[in-house]
């Protein structure tokens, strides 16, 4: 059985998908971009600020799903510029503790709303 997880502490879906689906002890979180859910606007500032907002959105969805982001087992990170890979690593090291989640980082030509980063996650429930 699958249960939809939604929170107003993360951006609303901008298409026909759920913020997250929980099935069993797994939470599958849709890709998040650097939108501040309180303003529904893209976050301005440095690339790291944008990545931090994405992880904040993921964390808030985790909380709504009864877990925490540090329980992530898999991340897919989409970047429009792979040269920013090391900045993502720096932000991740400030958020996660070992063992770090498995991860794929993929450079793509474009993302929704012309953002530079999108991250989705699979997280284990507590």
Q: Provide the residue ranges of all domains of the chain, joining segments of one domain with +.
A: 3-124
* Pick from 111, 89, 23, 94: nearest CA to 59: 94
CA 18/CA 5 separation, integer angstroms: 7
The string of pLDDT tens digits covering residues 92-123 is 999 999 999 999 999 999 999 999 999 999 99
Residue 44 has pLDDT above 90, yes or no: yes
Backbone phi, psi, residue 69, to 5° = -60, -30
Q: Can you give the pLDDT at residue 14? A: 84
Q: Can you give the pLDDT at residue 6? A: 96
Q: Can you give the pLDDT at residue 107? A: 98
The string of pLDDT tens digits covering residues 58-90 is 999 999 999 999 999 999 999 999 999 999 999
CATH topology of domain 3-124: 60s Ribosomal Protein L30; Chain: A; (3.30.1330)
CA 40/CA 14 separation, integer angstroms: 11
CA 83/CA 108 separation, integer angstroms: 12
CA 115/CA 102 separation, integer angstroms: 23
Q: Check if the beta carbon of residue 3 is closer than 8 Å to that of residue 27.
A: no
CA–CA distances in Å: residue 87 to residues 26, 36, 101, 107: 28, 20, 17, 14
Q: Can you give the pLDDT at residue 88? A: 99
CA 109/CA 8 separation, integer angstroms: 29
Tell me the helix, strand and coil percentages in the chain, rounded to 5. 30, 30, 40
């Amino acid at each position: 059985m699958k249960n939809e997880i939604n929170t107003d502490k993360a951006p609303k879906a901008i298409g026909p998908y759920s913020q997250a689906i929980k099935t069993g002890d797994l939470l599958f979180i849709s890709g998040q971009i650097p939108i501040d859910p309180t303003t529904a606007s893209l976050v301005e500032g440095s690339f790291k600020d944008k990545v931090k907002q994405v992880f904040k959105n993921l964390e808030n969805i985790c909380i709504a799903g009864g877990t925490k982001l540090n329980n992530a087992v898999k991340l897919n990170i989409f970047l429009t510029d792979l040269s920013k890979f090391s900045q993502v690593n720096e932000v991740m090291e400030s958020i996660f503790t070992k063992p770090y989640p498995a991860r794929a980082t993929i450079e793509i030509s474009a993302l929704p709303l012309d953002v530079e980063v999108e991250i989705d996650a699979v997280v284990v429930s507590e």
